Structure 1
Amino acid sequence: MRELLEAVAAGELSPAEAESRLRGYATTGAGRFDAGREKRRGVPEAILAAGKSPSEVSALTRTALETAGHALVTRVSEADVAAVAEEVDGEVTVDHDERGRTLVAQRPNYEPPTLDADVAIVTGGTADAAAANEADAVLEVMGVDAERVEDVGVAHLGRVLDQVERLRAADVLIVAAGREGALPTVVAGLVDTPVIGVPVSSGYGHGGDGTAALAGMLQSCTVMSVVNVDAGFVAGAQAGLVARAVSNARGQSE
């Protein structure tokens, strides 16, 4: 503890970083940031921007950068992105995905992990891209460069069948689909790898808010897992945990 106090006094360590090392989290005016979650759980702490003010989002992003070296922010608005840009210094890299509504920031000395695993994100159509992009951002932070297999909706089964070899090559699949949500079920029946279904709120009329896709996936005849409507973050984190286990197993077998 004395070393931490001396480092803070010398300006070598911020109070937030010292607190995170002692308690596992850092306290800010916008709430607590769980800096130890990534090491404890294997999933990075994400800052959910929805429901927070831009100033609260930027303050938590700064704390994440100070304590973890990087920040993942989901469901951001343009105002949130602007506030973060004003808050961080010029050496911090900021990657904003407008469609996925994610923001990933990294300090120059941060070294992201790299996992030896193949993850593919599959979409039925362009309308599924927002949830898919959110999942992709989580996987990137966890050390996975995911492959995208897009526009293979079941309206024409040939679009899925001509991608079967790519699907079977993956260690884990995230499959996002709206409307009736049939695509993950079809894919799960064609591969021997874990499939994570993401129901998307695309459609119209009865069940068009994603509830029809969710119900269809929950009733899947083929074995798969399902996350909540538009929950790209949860799907990405789950796939990342599978990828980490695969990567660790491959490392041990070498």
Structure 2
Amino acid sequence: MRELLESVADGSLSPTEAEAALNGYVTGEAGRFDAARRQRRGIPEAIYAEGKSAPQVVALAETALETTDRALITRISDEQFEALESTFADSAPDATLERYGSTVRVLGAEFEQPSLEATVGIVTAGTVDGPVADEAQVVCTDAGATVDRVDDIGVAALNRTLDQVDRLRDADTLIVAAGREGALPTVVAGLVDTPVIAVPVSSGYGHGGDGEAALAGLLQSCTVLSVVNIDAGFVAGAQATLIARAIDAARTDDGSR
């Protein structure tokens, strides 16, 4: 405690960093940021931008960057992203902003990219599933897993899926995103011996076209898989990250790394 106070007094530690070290979270006008989630859970807290004002997103991102040297932001709008760019150009010019559709990763100058000896395959049935897959990909990339992205192999032309079977089997775990009736994850899970995490996507026509048909179909899958909520790319990426971390630890322990 004394060392922490002395660090604040001599300016080597900010009050925000000290609060994070003491409580595990930081309280600001935009809410509380869980700075210790990665240490506690293996996955950093993400800032869900939808429904927040641009200043709120910026404030939370600044707190994340100050306490963890990175920020993950999901469902970001163009207006919010422009506010981030403008703010960090002045307050953190050495920070790097990476945007993947509606998902953003901000990296501080001192951020050290981790590395996991594990591969996550991320698969989409069609182009419309891309933004959800992007969200999952950012989470896995941030954790240090190798990501192998396979896009647009929906079952309407099954040869597109069968052409990629060997590649899918090489992954340590798979995230498969699909809308409409959600058939692709079920088909893939019947072809591989790796864990499959299915993400129903809110695309399609009429009844059930908001992702509910895909969700219902995947919950009734004959093949063994896990299902996250509709459009829950972050959750799928987090689950895959936990699997990748366990695989990495096992490979390190047995000396095969």
Task: Single out whichever of 86-95 and 35-44 deviates more from structure 2.
Answer: 86-95
Task: Single out whichever of 107-116 and 189-198 deviates more from structure 2.
Answer: 107-116
Partner AA of 1:225 in structure 2: S
DSSP-derived class of the 1:156 partner: helix
DSSP-derived class of the 1:186 partner: helix
- For residue 213 of structure 2, what is the aligned residue in structure 1? 212
* 1:68-94 Cα deviation digits (max 9, x unpaired): 011100000111112222332110111
After TM superposition, the structure 1 = structure 2 runs for residues 148-187 of structure 1, keeping only pairs within 5 Å, are: 148-187=149-188
Task: Single out whichever of 159-168 and 76-85 deviates more from structure 2.
Answer: 76-85
Partner AA of 1:74 in structure 2: T
* 1:40-91 Cα deviation digits (max 9, x unpaired): 0001110111111110110010000110011100000111112222332110
Unmatched 5+ stretches in structure 2: none
- For residue 199 of structure 2, what is the aligned residue in structure 1? 198
DSSP-derived class of the 1:109 partner: coil
DSSP-derived class of the 2:44 partner: coil
After TM superposition, give the deviation of residue 238 of structure 1 in Å: 0.3
After TM superposition, give the deviation of residue 145 of structure 1 in Å: 2.8
* 1:217-249 Cα deviation digits (max 9, x unpaired): 000000000001110000000000000000000
- Within the alignment, does 1:92 sit opposite 2:95 as a pair? yes
After TM superposition, give the deviation of residue 5 of structure 1 in Å: 1.5
- For residue 9 of structure 1, what is the aligned residue in structure 2? 9
After TM superposition, the structure 1 = structure 2 runs for residues 102-113 of structure 1, keeping only pairs within 5 Å, are: 102-113=103-114
**Residues of 2 paired with 1:117 and 1:242: CA distance?**
9
DSSP-derived class of the 2:146 partner: coil
DSSP-derived class of the 1:206 partner: coil
**Residues of 2 paired with 1:28 and 1:169: CA distance?**
44
**Residues of 2 paired with 1:84 and 1:193: CA distance?**
38
After TM superposition, the structure 1 = structure 2 runs for residues 60-71 of structure 1, keeping only pairs within 5 Å, are: 60-71=60-71
Partner AA of 2:85 in structure 1: A
**Residues of 2 paired with 1:11 and 1:194: CA distance?**
48
Unmatched 5+ stretches in structure 1: none
TM-score normalised by L of structure 1? 0.97
* 1:178-212 Cα deviation digits (max 9, x unpaired): 10000000000000000000001111111110000
* 1:82-130 Cα deviation digits (max 9, x unpaired): 2222332110111122x2x011001111102110001100111111101
- For residue 148 of structure 2, what is the aligned residue in structure 1? 147
